[in-house]
């Protein structure tokens, strides 16, 4: 099990960051899947915070997928500073999810995010982003403690 821990953590991070990427790129999918009654947001209409969150999640997916591929090929030990790369990417995922929930309140001057009202899709998007951040963070910490 210890042998596959890196692969499991990076695979979880890659999978859940891909889910966030899909849910943010295709907001209409959330309305179809979860049958929400409110209007689903349009990514580009919500300001720079949402676009930055989207770009950060693309970065998180690419990094976690590359690290997962390196783990599958058995070359993860040859990746320099893989633990710092993973921890930095986990930070990007956390910032993306913070921006995801704060953008609406920043743009409209309200106190709470309106995305929670969009239904289960938006909440699952945020949970998936946090799971991806946890997977990368746990991988980074485990590698850092081994050194």
Instruction: Please provide the DSSP assignment of 83-137 as one string.
Output: HHHHHHHHHHHHHHHHHHHHHHHHHH--SS-SGGGG-HHHHHHHHHHHHHHHHHH
More confident residue, 11 or 119: 11
More confident residue, 21 or 60: 60
Buried b (16+ CB within 10 A) or exposed e, 49-65: bbeebbebbbbbbebbb
Rounded to two decimals, the pTM is 0.75
Q: What is the mean pLDDT of residues 96-125?
A: 60
Cα–Cα distance, 88 to 69 (Å, whole number): 18
Residue 146: how many other CB atoms lie within 10 Å? 7
Q: What is the mean pLDDT of residues 18-34?
A: 65
Task: Indicate the pLDDT class of residue 103, thresholds 50, 70 and 90.
Answer: low
User: What total number of domains does the chain contain?
Assistant: 1
Domain that holds residue 34: 2-146
Q: Which helix (DSSP H) or strand (DSSP E) does residue 37 occupy?
A: none
């Amino acid at each position: 099990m210890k042998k596959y821990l890196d692969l499991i953590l990076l695979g979880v991070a890659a999978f859940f960051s891909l889910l966030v990427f899909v849910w943010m790129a295709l907001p209409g999918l959330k309305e179809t899947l979860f049958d929400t009654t409110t209007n689903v947001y349009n990514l580009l209409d919500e300001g720079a915070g949402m676009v930055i969150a989207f770009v950060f999640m693309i970065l998180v997916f690419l990094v976690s997928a590359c690290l997962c591929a390196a783990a599958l090929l058995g070359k993860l030990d040859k990746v320099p500073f893989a633990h710092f790369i993973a921890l930095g990417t986990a930070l990007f995922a956390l910032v993306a999810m913070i921006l995801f929930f704060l953008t609406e309140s920043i743009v409209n001057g309200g106190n709470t995010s309106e995305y929670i009202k969009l239904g289960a899709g938006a909440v699952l998007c945020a949970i998936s982003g946090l799971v991806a951040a946890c997977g990368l963070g746990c991988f980074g910490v485990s590698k850092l403690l081994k050194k």
